[in-house]
Every structure is written in C-alpha cells, then in structure tokens.
Structure 1
Amino acid sequence: MSFQAMTWATEQDLKANEKIVLVMLANRCNHDTGRCDPAHKRLARECGMSLSTLKRCIEKLETYGLLTIENRSVNGVPIANQYHLHLGVSSQGTYTVQNMKGVGSNLGGGVGSQGATGSGHSDLQTSNYNQEVKPGSLTVPAADKSASVAGGVLAGEVLPKSKQADQKAEQETAFQLKCKETWHAYKAAYERRYQTAPVRNARVNGQVKTLVKRLGNEAAPVAAFYVDAVNEAFVTRKMHDLGPLVSGAEAYRTQWVTGSAMTNTRARQIDQTQANASAADEAKAMLRARRGDGQ
C-alpha cells in the first residue's frame, strides 16, 4: 500500500462508489514498485459492488483525469489491467503538489508512471505535501501590498461580482483557446503519423484540459513532439493515446525542451555508461590504494 496514494485518494471529491474504487485502487498500489493491477473480480468484491458498476466507476475516474487504464495481454490472452494513478491531479481540476519523497510522488507522473524529475518545476517540489496550487492564492507580503497583481487588482482588494464574472469569463476563454491549440497540434501530428484523425470524445477532452492545466502554453508543442518523436514501446502499443502523455506530462516536456526523446535503448545505454564509469573509478581507486601500500 502507498500511504501517499491513499491520502490523495481520500481527499478527492467524488461520488460514493467512485471514491470507494479510487481508494481501493490506491490501497492495492505497491509503494515500492508502483504496480497497481488488481483483477476486476477481486476489486469488485473488495468494493462491494457489481462488475458493471466497478467498470463504470473506473471509466469515470479516467475521464476525470485521475488515472490511466493500460489494457494488457499475454500471447493474445487478456490479463489484469495496469492502472496509473495521477497523484498530481485532483477531481476539481486543480493541480496538487505532492511530497517528493517515496515512490509514486513524482509531480504529475503518479503511481506506476514515468517521473518528471528535472522538468523545470523545482520551485514547486519543495512545497508542503498536497498543497493546492490555485491562481491568485499566493499571499502578498505587507511590503508589497501597494503593488498591483494580475488584472490590475491591488492585494486585498475585493472586486464587484460583475467584474469577478468578467475576469472569470476572460480566464475561461484563454484556457479554452489553449485547449483548442493543444488539440489541433496533437491532431495534426497524429494524422501525419497514422494517416487518420484521432478519436475525440468526453474522455479525450478531459485529458486535453488536464494537459493544459499542467503544462500551460507548452502543452501544444509537447503534444506534437509526443506523437512525432516518442517511440517507447508502451506508447506505440497505445497508438500514442493521450493517456500516457497526461500521465508523464512533465517528463515529456523535458524531452521536448532538450530535443531528445528517451527510448528504452537509450535509457539502457545511459545506465551502461554510468556503470562503466563507476567501475573505472573503482579500479583507479584500487590502484591508488596499492601504490600507497607499496610506498
């Protein structure tokens, strides 16, 4: 069981059945390995519900952006799904900052997914556990009370309801434009690679929104890079579905910034290079020690 996954799951604002399923999935998540792959029958029994109700709840949780479902099979025979919990996402559409200690606490990556270390978000990584990041929620020091903040509003000033509504509408419009830009970038890249348009439905729309919330203006170019340049086996098996992109958003953003897609082969090569370097350092240290003994 992952304590962080359980804490995150219990804090989500969900309907009773959906919350029970999310909590039980978190309970089944292995803290050390990040594995979360309980069988449907066992999970339904533990949740006290029918298989059909369980499957509906899991699909809802994926629509909310709280998890990604990986369908798996061995020699064509279906086996238990793998679930990737998105610990950096809340059911209210906000982004939470997880404590960086332990398995499954990477920003946005979630349990059983790629981490996002070195993704340029180090200013968030030292925040308190599960601190919620909301626009306009930062406290302005007393010395800066006279300074204006976003939208020309002074710290401590309360806008009339009409202006608050106008501001909210402007924010929503800007967000919607980013979502459209991200979808078009993803769609264009997808059509280049697969010669067909990707499916768009409520689940996909939710994934696009989550991606924009996490990457902002960088969501569109990262989405195009993901389809054009990422060739990981897991991603290609899923035909560049948006789920893995959302799950590892910050990691893919880092690959886009550096212009270097990480592949399984390249990862092994890096590991081997580091291992060789460590062995060489060890050999040098032994030689120095022997020379010291001879003197």
Structure 2
Amino acid sequence: MSPRGDRPMVPRADFKSYYGRPIVRPAPWTHDVAAYLFTGGLAAGSALLAAGGQVTRRPRMRRAGRVAALGALAASGYFLVADLGRPDRFHHMLRVAKPTSPMSMGTWALSAFGVAAGAAAVSEAAPLLPSRFVRRVAPPVGAAAGLGAAAVAPVVATYTAVLLANTATPSWHAAYPELPFVFAGSALASGAGIGLIADPAPPARRMAVLGAALELYGARRIETTKGLLSEPFTTGQAAKLLRAGRALTAAGVAGAVLGRRSRVVSALSGLSLLAASALTRFGIFDGGMASARDPRYTVVPQRSRLAAKIDNRQNGETSGG
C-alpha cells in the first residue's frame, strides 16, 4: 500500500525463469563431493601435523599424522571417483596440465601429494620388516616424503575452494576471496584434531588455534559481507550446519587451550574439531547449491551490477561535460 492507501497496479516480481527452471544450472554434484572436500582437507592438515611432529621430534604425532593423511587421502579418492562415476576419468585428467584450470592443477597436486604421503606412511611400518636394508633406508626416505607432502598440502587444502569459486554458482563465486581461508583453516583444525587425539602436544594446540581463527574469520566474512548472496549461508540447512560447526570449533579450541593436563579433554577437543571441519564443508556446499537453485540469487545481483554501471557511466558523462 502507498502512503495514500492506493493499491500498486504492478504485482511484485517473483523471479521465475522459463519452465520453472533455475537460471544457473546447479552443479551435478551429490554430497559425495562435500565428503571429498572434508577428507581432502583432513589429509592435507594431517600431513602438516606429521611434518610438525617430524621437525619437533615427536614420533607419536608424526606417526598419527602420516597414517591419518594416507587414510583420509584414500577416502578422498573414493568420494572423488564416486562422483566422477568411473576411476579412469581421474586418470584421463592427468593427460594434460592446464594452469588455468583449478581441476587440472588440483589433480596433479593431489597425485603428487598422494605419492609423498603414501611413502611417508609406509615408512612407518619399515621397522617391522625383516630386511635390514629397508629398515636403514626407510627413515630418511620417509622424512623427505613427509616434508614433500607438507609442501604440497596447502595446495591440496585450498584448490577445492578455487574450484568452487570458479563455477557460476552465485554464492560460491561471490565468496572467492574468503573460501581459501575457510578451507585452509578447516584443514588445519582437522589435522590438529588428529594431533589432540594422538599426542596433545603444543604444536597441535597452536595448530588448532590458527586453523580455527582462519576458518571462523573466513566463514564470518562470507555470512556478512556478500549482501543478498550471503543469505544462502545464513538460512536453511546450510545455516544449521555452519552454526553447529562454529559451536564445535569454539568448543574444540577452548578444550585444546584449557585442557592441557587432561588427555580426555584433549581427545574430546580433537573430535569436536574434526566434526566441526566436516560440518563447515557440508554447510558451504549446501549454501552454494541453494543459491544456484533460486533464480533470485542470479537476477538481483545482476540487476544491481547493471544499475551501478549505468550510474557510473552517467556520472562520468556529467563530470566530463
């Protein structure tokens, strides 16, 4: 109603597209991809944890990190192949290296990481083997492989963020500056969770604090600075997952900092950080998919950008004249 009580003659826009279809085609991904995002980050974070244990001479932390990195990498490969449909599709992506393609670069990084992480994890079993030569050679090979995996781990942790932001999915695309922070922080926090369970030493606690800070900073920016495109992350299923992840992250960090003398508290903190990392990845995934399904998240930002361009052009002509 207008101030004078008149009824508007034009109905309110409802942002429907032809035949009721979304304007942007949602990515044909299932939650296998969300699980792939989590396990890939966990593998990268665990490799960094293992390198920290190696450098600070903490064998339990090193061993736990290497084994967790290999296990998470295997799970990540399973979920990736489940999404691709056939294992040979992953192999086919290695036929070419395309620097402008996040998927191509990610495939190569994941392959290099897998070789290094696998060698580092296998070296942990060398002392159990009967061969004296293998027992002598395995530690230096494992040390080099562990550091190599840690060097590639930041790329493995964040390339999936670039991959999501490189799609036409509105809310993922808008969040391209913050998604790498969220994914890097989530990877560090999940790796720290493994450390808090296996060997709650100071490196794991510092890693937990750093990871949580990066993750919470990036997620907060995504939820508050993208205007309408923040909405899919603050409503619906995505909002529930992200809120739960945020609460578990805070609980995990609090336990890591305050529960230094309790192995039980440290282990519970580690489990909280692992669960928080998974919930955060699933929340980001669900929020992006929701933004692709609703035409409003495509139409309104496009109209706003077009109006801004017209205003800037008119202002430029006015000032030039």
- TM-score normalised by length of structure 1: 0.28
Q: TM-score, normalised by structure 2?
A: 0.26
Structure with greater strand share of residues = 1
Q: Which has the higher contact order (CA 8 A, sep 6+)?
A: 2
